[in-house]
Amino acid sequence: MPDLLLELFSEEIPARMQDAAAADLKRLVTNGMVDRGLTYAHAEAFATPRRLVLAVEGLADGSPGVNEERKGPRVGAPEKALEGFLRSTGLTKDQLEVREVKGAEVYFAVTQKPGRSAEEIVAEVVDHVVRNFPWPKSMRWGAGTLRWVRPLHSILCILSDESERRVVGLEIDGIKAGSITRGHRFMAPDAFSVSSFEDYQVKLARAKVKLSATERQDAIWHDATQLAFAQGLEVVEDRGLLREVAGLVEWPVVLLGKIEERFLDLPPEVLQTSMKEHQKFLSVREPESKKIVAYIVVANRETADAGATILDGNARVLAARLSDAVFFWENDLRTPLEDMTSKLDSVTFQRDLGSLASRIDRIAALAGDLSPAVGADADLAVRAARLAKADLSSEMVYEFPELQGVMGRYYSARAGEDPAVAAAAAEHYSPLGPSDQVPTAPVSVAVALAEKIDVLAGFWTIDEKPTGSKDPFALRRAALGVIRLILENNVRLRLSEVFAGHGPRCDAAVNDAERVFDVEKAADLLGFFADRLKVYLRDEGIRHDVIDACFALGGQDDLVPLVARVRALQEFLGTDDAPNLLAGYRRAVNILEREEKNDGIEYSLDPDINFAETDSEKALFAALDRADADLRPALAAEDYAAAMTALSALRGPIDAFFEDTKVNADSPTVRRNRLCLLNRVRRVMNQVAVFSSLDG
Amino acid sequence: MANAAPRSFQEIILRLQSYWAQKGCAVLQPYDMEVGAGTFHPATTLRALGSKSWAAAYVQPSRRPTDGRYGDNPNRLQHYYQYQVLIKPSPPDLQELYLGSLEAIGIDNTLHDIRFVEDDWESPTLGAWGLGWEVWCDGMEVSQFTYFQQVGGHDCSPVSGELTYGLERLAMYVLGVDHVMDMPFNDPDAPIPLTYGDVFRQTEQEYSRWNFDQADVETLLRHFEDAEAECGRILAAADTDDAGRRIVMAHPAYDQCIKASHTFNLLDARGVISVTERQAYIGRVRALAKACADAYLTTEAAGGAEA
């Protein structure tokens, strides 16, 4: 049972690709071996900046031999067919077997495929995997033809067991596999030979390489928090950055530097972003004030001066960066917000939808419209909308686009704007994703809704809707944002009315008689919301047909009661009464529709209890009256649970009716009355939801 | 062991020159036209094409009109120097060769933290791209390291390795200077010591004013059109001259491409190019670069006629 060790040693692999590459290497090599009949006990893959490594334990010595059978032509078939079969199998006629299949004699080729050695299979699989590796981007180098993420320098590929170590015979584009590797680029550059995975791990650690990315991350986090703690500080957690930094070093050495006093007035977001984006520093803050005052540099080597030169160099680079940031910050603070906004006149939002300034006009008008519904002061909402995007023309946001909104809040607050206006600058982009927090401050909600509804109505006006996987303007996210803003803040508004009010503003921006936000587009946009709502509610486990059944009522553009109705219906469908009631409803509707079709009439008149003959028929009349009486106030109060209860009271009477009453009575009058009664069952129930839209 | 610390900007350049000369590169002189980066030098752009081996190193004065700051900014200049190395096919020890050049200018890798951080390079105007890194020294980007994959829309085969050092930034780091204008240009103990500012402060001011305020837009627009037309005309000419000699004029045509590219940069600095026009201009320069690359590939320098 030999073990396999494979190392692909190259120039620096991009940090963001390392984890996936290790996983791909493990999957492709082990699958390739298993597909060829070579089994194994355990496999583990690793990545560092310069190597991809796979260690496989307990490999079988080889693949078992297999018998292969192929059915050929019938005995007595034309000579040509037999010749072809012999050619394709490589056998002669006397080597074929003759067997009886369904009474006919048929030739069979039975060949014994011998098993292959582990070494042979490993060589074949590794060759194939290296030549076809799924790098997101790969390249050629020198005069060769092989593609790899960066130039591949050596391949270590050995099979080892207690008694011996064999190098797998393998050569790819001039690189011959061996048992040699190298340590850290600077601290231990010499080549060394290894005899097994254990030997490799020991020698690699001695050669200043930490093989496991997890171990590197843990070591960095441990040392960073220790260093910070010693200074009474804490490290700001950033998993993504930690993973990236661990992918840039083979031998992490953690150093802590202090931010110069003159930069400490910069907003913490600016310090953190600048340090992360430009230099991949982790931020370190005071635990109480949360002020960022220091940073963690992760270097790739130990030095005789304990990192003093490295830290000094990094501090100088940081100082240059932060000097720029201070320059931007001070310039921005000197610029009145109105001046920032007016610069947006010359920024195109979208070719057909005009400038960013005209978009802001539309958002401001819409935020004003929405204010009563969200409980915001309309003047503040309009003011907030006017200023919310001012920071897009600031120097800081030009440098760090990810600080949009955050800077707006600082600039608005410094300019003495109302705190609600400043908050809206930061919050109006939210929610950005399904897990992003939804703003709750009324002014922020008004601007956030207006910002998203404007982009949707605008793109609907110019027929730029998302298709398939293409959604370049993130319109699905915008619609989901509107849904979450409305539901989580319990905002009562009719989307159709909002669209109707906003459409003309988009029309004016597009200024094209051929492309206007008409009734049809408004309906289509509402349908888009219905689809997004299904996706949103699916995560709660709500069935799409339950939503359809509620939407089918028509006019369902007020999302709060709609979703309350949907949730109540979903819950009702889980009760004991539901299956029978639904069966009764379907039976009623089926009979009704069949007879209406046969007779060519609609039985839509009110049934008359005076023509009722059976007790169960009379009881159903009474039950429907009662249900109607209970439903009206329940629906008016949007108490959908009560509405469902009222419906469930119909289950017994409907069952009883079908039990002993014949709808197609001999008397035409009684029959017509009963059909009208079924219609009433449908009408009463359809006040709650269109039950025929439910699957079943 | 690293070498003694250099004392001036020019000493760093001289050391790079002598280092790469020792490593077998032809040390060329700057191209005599205004370019945005060392890559535009035909010794890189055109020589990266075709099958013939090549190794060259040179300083290239580079102009980026929009980066002008009247000489006030500590590290932004509209005119600066790049040091450029191009070796084809890229040798297997190119990283080690590169690290050797850092040692040559006094960067001791036992004390500094040198890292290769992913950075893919693309030049939309040249129709060129490659994969590589920016090289960090203690968190400072000191060079760009690229394996060219395509130039002028053609696959590079063999592949060239390109190294680009931003000389001012690198030198400021090595010399420990915080403002470029304070950097010693020649030896600080020379009879007449000169700083970078003594040499370039005034020109930075003059060109910043011209680039941003004074360059005549009508003239520039005309120059762009003229260069574009001339490039096309040169390439449309017959392969053989009146005496019957086959002479494809790839380089003269490429000069016009360079001219168009720089004129576009000037127009950009004048702020007269809108976002949508920008793409169109870049596309026009790329079309010229591609046409020049096509022509060059049919010449002897490229290793013979391709289809």
**Quick one: pLDDT band at residue B269, thresholds 50, 70, 90?**
confident
Q: Are residues B129 and B252 in the same domain?
A: no
Statement: residue B272 has pLDDT above 90: no
- For residue B245, the distance in angstroms to the closest alpha carbon of chain A comes to 32
Q: Are residues B126 and B225 in the same domain?
A: no
CATH for the stretch A570-693 = 1.10.730.10
Choose the mutation target among B113, B136, B276 for the interface with A, i.e. most A CBs under 10 Å. Answer: B113
DSSP assignments along B154-195, one per residue: EEPSSPPEEEEEEHHHHHHHHHT-SSGGGSBSS-TTSSS--B
CA B171 – CA B181 distance, rounded (Å): 12
Q: Are residues B129 and B234 in the same domain?
A: no
Any idea of the CA torsion for A640, A646, A647, A649, to the nearest 10 degrees? Answer: 150
Percentage of chain A exceeding pLDDT 70: 100
Place of tokens 């050391």: B15
- For residue B147, the distance in angstroms to the closest alpha carbon of chain A comes to 7
For A136, the closest chain B residue by CA position comes to B131
User: Residue A182 pairs with which residues in a beta bridge?
Assistant: A191
> Residue A327: its pLDDT value, please?
87
Report how many Cβ contacts below 8 Å link chain A to chain B.
99
| Cβ burial A676-695 (10 Å sphere, 16+ → b, else e) | bbbbbbbebbbbbbbbbbbe
Place of tokens 């070719």: A351
More confident residue, A27 or A84: A27
Q: Is A662 helix (H, G, I), strand (E, B) or coil?
A: coil
Intra-chain end-to-end CA distance of chain B, in Å:
50
CA B73 – CA A383 distance, rounded (Å): 37
Q: Residue A400: which residues within 8 A CB-CB, separation 6 or more?
A: A270, A273, A274, A277
CB contact under 8 A, B118 and A139: no
The token pair that represents B69 in the structure block: 């700051």
For A308, the closest chain B residue by CA position comes to B111
For A187, the closest chain B residue by CA position comes to B110
- pTM for the complete prediction? 0.81
> Are A391 and A397 spatial neighbours (Cβ–Cβ below 8 Å)?
yes
pLDDT in tens, A432-463: 888 889 999 999 999 999 999 999 999 999 99
CB contact under 8 A, B130 and A139: yes
> Residue A214: its pLDDT value, please?
97
pLDDT in tens, B135-164: 999 999 999 999 999 999 999 999 999 999
CB contact under 8 A, A139 and B149: yes
Q: Quick check: is B193 in a domain?
A: yes
CB contact under 8 A, B90 and A186: no
> Are B292 and B257 spatial neighbours (Cβ–Cβ below 8 Å)?
yes
CB contact under 8 A, B138 and A14: no
The last residue of one of the domains, among B150, B181, B209, is B209
CB contact under 8 A, B90 and A318: no
Q: Are residues B150 and B251 in the same domain?
A: no
The token pair that represents B123 in the structure block: 């030049």
The last residue of one of the domains, among B152, B180, B209, is B209
pLDDT in tens, B40-76: 999 999 999 999 999 999 999 999 998 898 998 888 8
For A313, the closest chain B residue by CA position comes to B138
Residue A16 CA, distance from chain mean position: 18
CB contact under 8 A, A297 and B139: yes
Q: Which of A109, A103, A67 is nearest to A84 (CA)?
A: A109
- For residue A453, the distance in angstroms to the closest alpha carbon of chain B comes to 26
Intra-chain end-to-end CA distance of chain A, in Å:
56
A chain contacts of residue B118, beta-carbon cutoff 8 Å: 12, 14-16
CA A192 – CA A202 distance, rounded (Å): 12
CB contact under 8 A, B110 and A351: no
- For residue A307, the distance in angstroms to the closest alpha carbon of chain B comes to 7
CB contact under 8 A, B92 and A153: yes
> Are A166 and A125 spatial neighbours (Cβ–Cβ below 8 Å)?
no
Report the number of distinct structural domains present in chain B.
Answer: 2
Q: In this complex, which of A49, A149, A313 lies closest to B140 when CB atoms are compared?
A: A313
Q: Are residues B23 and B172 in the same domain?
A: yes
Q: Are residues B232 and B185 in the same domain?
A: no
B chain contacts of residue A303, beta-carbon cutoff 8 Å: 110-113
Mean pLDDT rounded to a whole number for chain A: 93
**Quick one: pLDDT band at residue B23, thresholds 50, 70, 90?**
very high
Percentage of chain B exceeding pLDDT 90: 87
| Max intra-chain CA distance, chain B | 63
Choose the mutation target among B75, B138, B150, B172 for the interface with A, i.e. most A CBs under 10 Å. Answer: B138
Mean pLDDT of B204-232: 95
Mean pLDDT of A572-585: 90
Mean pLDDT of A10-29: 97
Q: Quick check: is B224 in a domain?
A: yes
Supply the angle between the helices A495-510 and A442-461 in degrees, to the nearest 10: 60
Q: Which domain holds residue B272?
A: 216-302
Q: Quick check: is B1 in a domain?
A: no
CA A232 – CA A221 distance, rounded (Å): 16
CA B224 – CA A491 distance, rounded (Å): 57
The last residue of one of the domains, among B209, B226, B259, is B209
Q: Are residues B107 and B205 in the same domain?
A: yes
DSSP assignments along B13-26, one per residue: HHHHHHHHHHTT-E
- For residue A512, the distance in angstroms to the closest alpha carbon of chain B comes to 21
**Quick one: pLDDT band at residue B1, thresholds 50, 70, 90?**
very low
Q: Residue A272: which residues within 8 A CB-CB, separation 6 or more?
A: A236, A283, A292
Q: Can you list the alpha helix ranges (DSSP code H) found in A168-307?
A: 197-206, 213-230, 239-246, 268-279
Percent helix / strand / coil, chain A, rounded to 5:
55, 15, 30
- For residue B192, the distance in angstroms to the closest alpha carbon of chain A comes to 29
Domain boundaries, chain A: 3-62+117-206, 66-113, 213-334, 350-533, 570-693
> Residue B306: its pLDDT value, please?
44
> What are the Cα distances from residue B31, in Å, to A418, B22, B151?
58, 22, 19
Q: In this complex, which of B91, B113, B120 lies closest to A301 when CB atoms are compared?
A: B113
Q: Are residues B179 and B295 in the same domain?
A: no
B174: CATH: 3.30.930.10
- Which chain B residues touch A if contact means CB-CB below 8 Å? 74-75, 89-92, 95, 109-118, 120, 130-133, 137-140, 147, 149, 156-159, 161, 173, 178, 275-276
B266: CATH: 1.20.58.180
pLDDT in tens, B282-305: 999 999 999 999 999 999 888 865
The token pair that represents B145 in the structure block: 């390291």
Q: Which of A451, A244, A425 is nearest to A356 (CA)?
A: A451
- Enter the ipTM: 0.94
CB contact under 8 A, B149 and A351: no
CA B307 – CA B305 distance, rounded (Å): 7
CA B164 – CA B146 distance, rounded (Å): 9
> Residue A540: its pLDDT value, please?
84
CB contact under 8 A, B147 and A304: no
- For residue B140, the distance in angstroms to the closest alpha carbon of chain A comes to 6
CB contact under 8 A, A279 and B92: no
> Residue A342: its pLDDT value, please?
87
**Quick one: pLDDT band at residue B276, thresholds 50, 70, 90?**
low
CB contact under 8 A, A310 and B111: yes
For A13, the closest chain B residue by CA position comes to B118
Choose the mutation target among A141, A145, A276 for the interface with B, i.e. most B CBs under 10 Å. Answer: A141
For B107, the closest chain A residue by CA position comes to A309
Any idea of the CA torsion for B274, B278, B284, B289, to the nearest 10 degrees? Answer: 150
- Neighbouring CB atoms inside 10 A of A311's CB total 21
Q: Are residues B193 and B220 in the same domain?
A: no
Choose the mutation target among A149, A150, A279 for the interface with B, i.e. most B CBs under 10 Å. Answer: A150
Q: Which of A156, A313, A172, A151 is nearest to B95 (CA)?
A: A151
- For residue B161, the distance in angstroms to the closest alpha carbon of chain A comes to 8
CB contact under 8 A, A140 and B111: no
CB contact under 8 A, A320 and B111: no
Architecture of domain A350-533: Orthogonal Bundle (1.10)
For B52, the closest chain A residue by CA position comes to A143
pLDDT in tens, A76-131: 888 888 888 989 888 888 888 889 888 889 999 988 888 999 999 999 999 999 99
Q: Which of B98, B106, B144, B133 is nearest to B9 (CA)?
A: B106
Q: Which of A437, A436, A403, A442 is nearest to A423 (CA)?
A: A442
Length of chain B: 307
CB contact under 8 A, A139 and B89: no
CB contact under 8 A, A313 and B130: no
Place of tokens 């310039």: A331
Q: Quick check: is B173 in a domain?
A: yes
Q: In this complex, which of A49, A139, A248 lies closest to B147 when CB atoms are compared?
A: A139
Q: Are residues B71 and B177 in the same domain?
A: yes
Q: Are residues B231 and B187 in the same domain?
A: no
CB contact under 8 A, A313 and B139: yes
Pairing of strands A234-235, A42-47: unpaired
> Are B45 and B126 spatial neighbours (Cβ–Cβ below 8 Å)?
yes
For B88, the closest chain A residue by CA position comes to A142
Q: Are residues B157 and B250 in the same domain?
A: no
